[in-house]
Each structure stands twice: as C-alpha cells, then as structure tokens.
C-alpha cells in the first residue's frame, strides 16, 4: 500500500510540475551593441514611418529623393526618435504589468513524507491541494484596472509621440528661419563692408579723419559676429534635428522651403475647446488612469471582506491510518480590515482627480493665451511688412539717386541696412507665429482648422479637427 501511495504522490508531483512548465517561456539572450546604431539612410526610416498609427502623418507620401517638408520630418521623427523607442519599451513593461495584475493565483500543492525512527511503524505522508479564493473576490476589479492601465499606456505613448512631432516641426521652422536670416545677415555684412570701404577711400583722400572710421569698423565687425552666431545656431539646430530623428551626425537633410502662414479659423479652434478632454491624448490618458484608480479602490474595498483559503488533504500516519479531509482558512478583519489600503487608494484617487482638472484648466488657459497672441502677432507682422515695403521703395529710389550722384553711398547703405533690420524683424515675428501654431496644434491634439476660401462651404470644428486617439 505504501508503494501505491508513494506512486500516487510522485505522479501527482510530476503532473503538477508538467502543468507548471506548460506556460513557461524560454530564455533567449540579447547582446548589447558595441557600435553606434544611428541611421545613415532615410529610406529605412521612411519604411518605418509608413507603419505609423498616428493620424495625419501615416498617410503622408514620403520621397527620399525630394527635399523634406515639415510633415515628412515629423513622420521620420516619430519613426526614428531614440527616446520614443525607450518609451515604447516602457509601454511594453506597463502592458506586461497590467497583464500580470489580471491573472488568477496559482493553486498550491504540498507533500510531506516522514520516516519513523523506531521499528514497527510505517512511513507517513501528507498531501494537499489548496487555492486562495479570496483573490477571486477582487479579480473583476483588478482586471478592470488592468484594462484601464493598458489604455492609459497607449494614450500616454501617443501624447509623447505628439510632443516629438511638435519638437520636430519646431526645429524645422527654426532651421528654415535661420537659413533665411543668414541670407539677410550676409547681405548686411556686404553692405557694412561697402560702407567701410568707402570710408577708407574718403580717409585716403583726406576727406575723413581716422576717428571717423571706427564706427564703420565696429558696424562691420558686429554684422560679421551676428552672421557667425546665426551660422552656429543653425548647425546646432541641424544637429538637434538629426538627433531627434535618430540619424547619424554626418547626415545632411535637404529641407523644403516653408509655406507662408495661413489664417487660423479661430472660431473653430474655440469650438474645439469644448471637446478638448475627449480628444487630447494626455487628458484621455489621465482619464484612463483615473478609471484604473477607481477600480483599485473598488478592489481595496472588496478586499476588506474575510479572505478564504480552501484545500483538500490526504494523509497517512505512522500507524498506517489513512485520513482524507479538507482545510479552511479565514482571515478575521479585526485589527486591519484593509482600512489602510483603502485610505491610500482613496487619497490617490483624489490626487488623480485634481491633476486631471488642473490639466484641463491649464490647457484651456494656454490655448486662449496663444489665440490672443496670434491676433497680436498677425497685426505686428502686417505692420512690419508694410514698413518693409515702404523701405524697399525708398531704398530703390535711393539707389537711383546714388546712380545720379544725388546721394552719398553712406546714406544709401544706411537705408538698405535699416531695410534689412526690418526684414529680420519680420522673420522673427513669422518664426514666433509658426512656433505658437505648433504649440497650439500640440495643445489641441490635432490639426489646426484654417479659414476656408469663400468658394467652399464652411465645416464644423469636428470636421476640421480630427481626433487623435489611437484605436
């Protein structure tokens, strides 16, 4: 009989071990790369960009043979950004944690074997199988929390991708504006050089004193310094763009010219504010996190009920007496009752509630401020462009007067320098306008509605702004 029992116990142990091994995952080593992995070819990034699940970008055509426009740069940034690769890995960890939170507990199998130290007695054993039924009470709430956590992870990743899109667009704008300003500054260096050359000729002719030359030399040196500073800033911006896209530093990106800013449909933007919480990925992520916390609080409340552990046993003592029975364990919620965890989860829920409300309030305030600034910037840009046009006419007339020997070269150069300064002012205003548009686009979580031509029927805010939530 002992051999039969031991046989049963051994078979049971083997069966339990086999069941445990069924769900095991094999181990595969992953070697660390010892060489840089930055991309040198845009084609690989372009192929990855076509698989993006980011509305407004994935459908954009990509041609590596053509200069890159702003949307293409944003696509490549989402596809190749190193920080986003880490964020996706973090999202995978969070999904695995959410998956683990919704699993059932494993049953517990126990087996003991005793050998008596005195003749005339047989070996004893005790075999049992038990399961914690208390965890089943909170299983539904924990699975709800796990599902909400998965949605939160996906939405948080989408929001981080959208921030990278905004950063790529901002760098694109910065590089384009710096190249245009460098062209103007190079003209300024040439103008101050002409003025300095004329002053030196006047000095050689005895028409100027030596101290009168110094202001022209200082102006020429200052113009050259500004040009060098703009060149340094442009190189830094290009290096930052390469790093954002995950490209090697030696890759030279050909960027397409920027289109002039268009008029915003301010009414549609303000209408979209009414549905901001239903379209912004970060707000949707906070909402999903709040739902997960509600489920955790519900699980903590359910966990205050007595935990029940049940099992079945089969045993034999040293006198060959066999017994069969069951085990029952019940926790008594006398001192703890899970009240501490309930208090923690309640306070956490309140904190998430306040964070969500603060984010909504801040988003509305930031968007309202940008809309007000946009109106002012448009007015300033219009006024500056009008001044540029007037100065251009005056400078053209001055050039004709100089050709007719009715104006001095110094006066003509001063007018052209003032014209260049106003053009630089217009560029600075245009850059600020673009950067605020990019910030507004990120705050809205979608494309910006534009003022439509009169020939087209107006669309509603929901038609001009597409939701950005991942499906």
Model pLDDT for residues 303-339, shown as the tens digit of each residue = 888 777 888 888 888 788 888 888 888 877 777 778 8
pLDDT attached to residue 308: 78
Give residues with Cβ within 8 angstroms of 460, minimum separation 6: 268, 271
3-state secondary structure of 356: helix
Q: Residue 246: what are its φ and ψ, rounded to 5°?
A: 75, 30
pLDDT attached to residue 458: 35
Q: Residue 10: is its pLDDT beyond 60?
A: no
Q: How far is CA 209 from the centre of its chain?
A: 61
8 vs 120, higher pLDDT: 120
d(CA 88, CA 97): 14
Q: Residue 397: is its pLDDT beyond 90?
A: no
Question: Mean pLDDT in the chain?
Answer: 80
State percent of the chain over pLDDT 90. Answer: 21
Token pair 């968007």 in the structure block, residue: 367
Token pair 């800013």 in the structure block, residue: 261
pLDDT attached to residue 449: 62
pLDDT attached to residue 26: 67
Q: Residue 324: what are its φ and ψ, rounded to 5°?
A: -130, 145
Which tokens is 240 given? 């930052």
pLDDT attached to residue 35: 67
pLDDT attached to residue 52: 64
pLDDT attached to residue 22: 54
Q: How far is CA 15 from the centre of its chain?
A: 48
Q: What is the pLDDT of residues 207-254, one digit of tens each?
A: 777 777 888 888 889 989 999 999 999 999 999 999 998 888 888 888
Q: Shortest CA distance to 2 belongs to which of 87, 114, 103, 160?
A: 114
**Strand order across the 108-114 sheet:** 108-114, 124-132, 308-316, 322-330
Which tokens is 361 given? 């309030």
d(CA 106, CA 20): 9
Q: Contact 161/404 with Cβ under 8 angstroms? A: no
**Length of the chain (residues):** 471
Q: Contact 315/127 with Cβ under 8 angstroms? A: yes
Q: Contact 446/463 with Cβ under 8 angstroms? A: no
Query: What average pLDDT score do residues 161-173 get?
Result: 92
Query: What average pLDDT score do residues 291-301 get?
Result: 91
d(CA 115, CA 324): 20
Three-class secondary structure assignment of 241-273:
HHHHHCECCCCCCCECCCCCCCCECHHHHHHHH
d(CA 451, CA 291): 38
Q: Residue 198: is its pLDDT beyond 60?
A: yes
Q: At CA 404, angle to CA 398 and CA 408, rounded to 5?
A: 55
Q: Residue 183: what are its φ and ψ, rounded to 5°?
A: -65, -45
468 vs 262, higher pLDDT: 262
pLDDT attached to residue 126: 87
Q: Residue 256: is its pLDDT beyond 80?
A: yes
pLDDT attached to residue 4: 45
Query: What average pLDDT score do residues 86-101 get?
Result: 82
State percent of the chain over pLDDT 70. Answer: 83
Q: What is the pLDDT of residues 20-57, one digit of tens each?
A: 555 566 667 877 776 676 776 766 666 566 566 665 56
d(CA 75, CA 85): 14
d(CA 469, CA 439): 18
Give residues with Cβ within 8 angstroms of 50, minimum separation 6: 58, 62
Q: What share of the chain is helix, strand, coil (3-state, %, to 5)?
A: 65, 10, 25
């Amino acid at each position: 009989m002992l051999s039969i029992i031991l046989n049963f116990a051994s078979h049971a142990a083997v069966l339990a071990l086999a069941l445990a091994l069924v769900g095991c995952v094999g181990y595969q080593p992953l070697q660390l790369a010892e060489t840089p992995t930055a991309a040198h070819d845009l084609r690989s990034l372009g192929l990855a960009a076509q698989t993006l699940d980011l509305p407004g970008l994935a459908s954009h055509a990509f041609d590596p043979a053509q200069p890159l426009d702003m949307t293409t740069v944003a696509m490549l940034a989402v596809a190749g950004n190193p920080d986003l690769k880490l964020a996706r890995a973090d999202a995978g960890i969070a999904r695995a944690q959410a998956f683990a939170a919704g699993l059932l507990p494993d049953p517990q199998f126990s087996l003991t074997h005793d050998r008596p130290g005195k003749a005339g007695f047989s070996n004893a054993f005790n075999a049992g199988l038990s399961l914690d039924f208390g965890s089943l009470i909170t299983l539904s709430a924990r699975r709800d929390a796990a599902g909400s956590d998965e949605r939160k992870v996906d939405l948080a990743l989408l929001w981080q991708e959208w921030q990278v899109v905004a950063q790529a667009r901002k760098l694109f704008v910065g590089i384009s504006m710096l190249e245009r300003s460098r062209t103007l500054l190079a003209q300024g260096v040439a103008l101050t050089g002409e003025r300095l050359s004329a002053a030196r000729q006047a000095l050689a002719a005895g028409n100027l004193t030596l101290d009168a030359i110094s202001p022209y030399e200082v102006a020429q040196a200052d113009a050259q310094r500004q040009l060098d500073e703009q060149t340094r800033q442009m190189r830094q911006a290009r290096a930052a763009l390469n790093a954002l896209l995950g490209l090697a530093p030696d890759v030279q990106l050909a960027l397409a010219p920027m289109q002039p800013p268009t008029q915003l449909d301010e009414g549609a933007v303000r209408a979209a504010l009414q549905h901001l919480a239903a379209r912004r990925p970060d707000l949707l992520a906070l909402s999903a996190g709040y739902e997960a916390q509600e489920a955790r609080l519900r699980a903590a409340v359910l966990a205050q009920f007595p935990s029940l552990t049940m099992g079945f046993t089969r045993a034999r003592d040293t006198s060959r007496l066999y017994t069969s029975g069951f085990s029952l364990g019940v926790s008594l919620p006398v001192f703890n009752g899970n009240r501490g965890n309930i208090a923690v989860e309640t306070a956490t829920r309140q904190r998430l509630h306040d964070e969500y409300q603060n984010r909504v309030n801040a988003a509305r305030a930031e968007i309202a401020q940008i809309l007000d600034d946009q109106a002012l910037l448009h007015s300033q840009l219009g006024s500056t462009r009008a001044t540029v046009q007037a100065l251009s006419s005056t400078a053209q007339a001055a050039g004709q007067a100089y050709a007719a020997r009715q104006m001095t070269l110094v006066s003509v150069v001063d007018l052209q320098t003032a014209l260049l300064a106003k053009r630089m002012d217009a560029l600075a205003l245009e850059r600020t306008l673009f950067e605020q548009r990019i910030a507004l686009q990120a705050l809205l979580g979608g494309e910006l509605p534009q003022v439509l031509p009169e020939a087209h029927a107006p669309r509603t805010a929901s038609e001009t702004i597409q939701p950005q939530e991942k499906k």
